Amino acid sequence: MKRFKSIINTNKESFKENLSEMQHLIAELNKNLVLAKVEGTEESIKKARNNKKFLSRERIKLLLDIDSPFIELMPLAGLMHTDGFGPGGTTVAGLGYVNERLCIINSNIGTRKAGTVDYATSLKIKRLGDIALENELPTINLVESGGANLPDQDRVFNNYGEIFNKMSTRSKLGIPTISVVFGNATAGGAYVPGMSDYTVFQKNTAKVFLAGPPLVKMATNENTNDEELGGALMHSRISGVADFLAEDENEAITIARDIVKNLKINENKNETGKVLPPKYKIDELLGIIPVNLKKSFDVREVIVRIVDNSDFFEFKENYGISIVCCWASINGYPLGIIANNGVIFEEAAQKSTQFIQLANKLNKPILFIHNTTGFMVGKKFEQNGMINSGSQMIHAVAGSSVPHISLLIGNSYGAGNYAMCGRSFKPRFLFSYPNSKCGVMGAEQLSGVMDIIKRQSALKRNIKVDERAFKKQKEAIKKDAQMKASVWHATTEVWDDGVINPLDTRKYLGMALAAVNNSSYKGSDKFGVFRM
């Protein structure tokens, strides 16, 4: 089999320019991640220390196996929300191994706004429920939360309902939720441990109740206290909400690890065997992938730097060359890859449709690597059936039942985003590079189209065009479109599961593949009507 040979020259000016620009974006990413790691004010952290409490990330570290990889998910949710509680909201969440079992871990940041759930945090927790359900992963909640943020109640209410719905669905399917309660879990938050399969309460500090003493007094005129209403001892001895009672945080975490150890054996566990790393240096990605997305590059140069042994088996390499389809492995997990080399032409869409069908026959997950402005437009392409070809590919993606993972490394616009399994087509995981952009169309195209439409409207109504005003409007539309297409806007709204440093690509994809291979799945034989 012919192997792809890289032709990248790290001494070229274009490589050095890409490298410098990407490093600048990575620095911006790291700056945002530093903000997300702030777990509260100095005062709130000092108070926690005085009460002998661990911080959120410290609890995760104690829970995980020694040397377990851990990938944080949605760390920048709410980044650009002016009315939220900061990047990442009030929870730290991710994937890691507990007693050799891959788990979703959701750790409330009790020292940031008392762990109260703002809108972005509710989106994040809801997304975690989807990941746990689709990949059949146990969830461990490390609980210390004041419940829903009341000013956000209109936006949080339905998300909370969906979170509880998914908890119930997972429980029915034998996908357990374990809640370890270190502090308050009040109001709607009380149902987090209440609906869990297993609960661990820390003595003297866990407080779980639907209404605190002041509200009880107002509602019923009853005088009571925290311990009588929802203390760990009461729930352990009287109500039965607590399954296990822990003396301190260390014991509570040890009990959680023991619960995981005694879960039903995972029959879907995938042993990957020996893994050969890529032969090409992954740090060269920073000079290969441009920040200026008008520049083109061969996506094969990316593939050989993220797949095992830099080895892939390309399908129809001479046909539909604006998409690369190939078979490969990452961290020992076999998969199919569909990767853009720019705009999608009819042949590329047809090739991808066939490849998706084959992946389903072979029961292999598919990785979609995005860098496309969408399907090709113009008279010639419309007459040749671009709509039919594009619709075939979208049908194939929607009908495919093997796990999908998406990685945005450049543009991801319009129906091209849908055909490449963007967020609305529900990939199991979706990660973005810091240079990536997505939306209906590029900012220049969008502002240009709007300008043409407005001019045509003015002409029809016989209104004289004010060039100065039109130019100002066009620039305003362009600026707004650029902001909303940026990766920072996308990750704020939880359109992805995290913006990642390209150097960490194998780590994130490896964990995502471990997660999807934890679940049972079977390729589909049923697709929508392929228009010919």
What is the spatial distance between Cα 441 and Cα 485, in angstroms, rounded to a whole number?
A: 9
Query: Residue 110 and residue 45: Cα distance in Å, rounded?
Result: 9
How far lies 461's CA from each of 6, 165, 456, in Å?
57, 53, 9
Averaged pLDDT score across all residues of the chain: 92
Cα distances (angstroms) measured from residue 529 to each of 72, 241, 392, 416, 418: 39, 51, 8, 19, 17
What whole-number distance in Å separates Cα of residue 181 and Cα of residue 200? 6
- Strands (E) across 331-448 are located at 333-340, 366-372, 404-413, 429-432, 437-439
Q: pLDDT category, 264, cuts 50, 70, 90?
A: confident
Q: Which residues of 43-61 are buried (b: 16+ CB within 10 A; e: fewer)?
A: ebbeebeeeebbbbeebbe
* Predicted confidence band of residue 51 (pLDDT cuts 50, 70, 90): very high
Residue 444 pLDDT > 80: no
Element (H, E) at 93: strand 91-98
Q: How confident is the model over 400-411, as pLDDT tens digits?
A: 999 999 999 999
Dump pLDDT digits (tens) for 342-362.
999 999 999 999 999 999 999
Whether residue 493 is predicted with pLDDT greater than 80 in this model: the reply is: yes
* Number of other residues whose CB lies within 10 A of the CB of residue 268: 12
Q: Is 480 a residue whose pLDDT tops 80?
A: no
- Of all helices (H) and strands (E), which one includes residue 170? helix 153-172
Q: Are 137 and 173 in contact (CB under 8 A)?
A: no
Q: Is there a contact between 468 and 437 (Cβ–Cβ < 8 Å)?
A: no
Q: State residue 48's pLDDT score.
A: 95
Distant-in-sequence, close-in-space partners of 476: CB < 8 Å, separation ≥ 6:
none
pLDDT at 143 exceeding the cut of 80: yes
Which residues does 237 contact at the CB level (< 8 Å), separation at least 6? none
Q: How far is CA 152 from CA 114, 157, 160, 287, in A?
A: 15, 8, 12, 43
Q: Do 322 and 51 form a contact (C-beta atoms < 8 A)?
A: no
What's the pLDDT score for residue 524? 95
> And the tokens for 257?
């690890």
Q: How confident is the model at residue 514 (pLDDT cuts 50, 70, 90)?
A: very high
How do beta strands 207-209 and 198-202 pair?
unpaired
Question: Is residue 271 predicted with pLDDT exceeding 60?
Answer: no
Give me the amino acid identity at 88.
Answer: G
The CA–CA distances, whole Å, from 261 to 59, 102, 192, 511 equal 18, 11, 22, 20
- Is residue 351 within 8 Å of 319, Cβ to Cβ? yes
Q: Counting beta carbons within 10 angstroms of the beta carbon of residue 96, is it exposed (0 to 12), middle (13 to 18) or buried (19 or more)?
A: buried
| Residue 516 predicted with pLDDT over 70 | yes
| 372-399: pLDDT as tens digits | 999 988 889 888 878 899 999 999 999 9
Return the percent helix, strand and coil in the chain, to nearest 5.
Answer: 45, 20, 35
Paired with 70 in beta bridges are 96
Q: What is the mean pLDDT of residues 401-422?
A: 96
Q: Which residues touch 516 (CB under 8 Å, ≥6 apart)?
A: 134, 135, 365, 403, 405, 428, 429
pLDDT at 443: 59
CB within 8 A of 430, min separation 6: which ones? 405, 406, 407, 408, 422, 423, 495, 496, 497
pLDDT of 447 reads 63
Most confident of 188-197, 440-449, 487-496: 487-496
pTM over 0.75: yes
Q: How do residues 303-337 score in pLDDT, each as one tens digit?
A: 999 999 999 999 999 999 999 999 999 999 999 99
Angle between the N-to-C axes of helices 153-172 and 119-135, in degrees from 0 to 180, rounded to the nearest 10: 20
Confidence of residue 532 (pLDDT cuts 50, 70, 90): confident
For residues 71, 44, 196 and 67, what is the CA-based torsion angle, rounded to 10 degrees?
Answer: 30
- ∠ CA 291-292-297, nearest 5°, is 85
CA distance 240 to 180: 15
